[in-house]
Amino acid sequence: MTVMLWLGGASAALAQTSSFGPPVSYDSGNSTTGTAVADLNHDGFLDLIASVADSDSVRVRLGAGDGTFGPEADFYVGFFSAPYGIAVADFNNDGNPDIAVANTLSTTISVLFGDGTGTFSLPATQFSAGFGLQGIVAGDFNNDTKMDLAVTSTSDSTVTILLGLGNGNFVYGSDTPIPTWEGCGCGGFPGSPGEHGHSGSSAGSYRTTNNRH
């Protein structure tokens, strides 16, 4: 599979419109499930990050700042993990971007700690977050200046908050059910999830499994 880029540019004929050139493709591995951009090596240019489910890895390409990207570097995130969503933030407060991915098969998120050059330490650190994880975003949800994570579980129909401790560790914060067809009062067709859906709560199934010190 490929990551395709369209480089935008201003139209000379219509100053208020924009246009895109032909797409540029980069091999992103089989079963690419997520993409993200961030400046991983502090050169001021955005870099490409892709999650590759088939190889249980994250693929990084450093940007040249002109719309082109360098060769790929793959970072393994764990056996039978099948990473999906990607979040980039500095989770251990060393000034370097780190990568967290939500794994669809392993019930964990994997965190890769960056060294500021586009390279990440291995092995990835695992934190339990539920089943069937897909979406993941980083933010400071409790206003303690330390980056946290919100992770969606399609199996449990929840959004789980993992609170960052600022040293690369996370602890369970909260677990918010996402309304199912039944839960949202939307009705549903006979035999659909709305007809026999579950409430989505799976409290108690979350814990930190791999602490960094």
169 scored as a contact of Ca ion (CB under 5 A): no
What are the residue ranges of helices labelled H in 62-205?
Answer: 193-196
C-beta of residue 76 within 8 angstroms of C-beta of residue 57: yes
Q: Is 45 in the site for Ca ion (CB under 5 A)?
A: yes
Tell me which of 32, 36, 47, 128 binds Ca ion, using CB under 5 A.
Answer: 47
Contact pick of 1, 24, 43, 212 for Ca ion (by CB under 5 A): 43
Q: CA 188 from chain center: how many Å? A: 31
* CB 54, min distance to Ca ion, A: 26
Q: In the window 78-97, what residues touch Ca ion (CB under 5 A)? A: 90, 92, 94, 96
> Cα-Cα-Cα-Cα dihedral of 131, 137, 142, 144, to 10°?
120
Structure tokens belonging to residue 33:
């499930």
Q: Taking CB under 5 A as the criterion, which residues in 117-146 touch Ca ion?
A: 140, 142, 144, 146
Residue 72 or 94 having the CB closest to Ca ion: 94
How many residues bind to Ca ion according to rule CB under 5 A?
A: 15
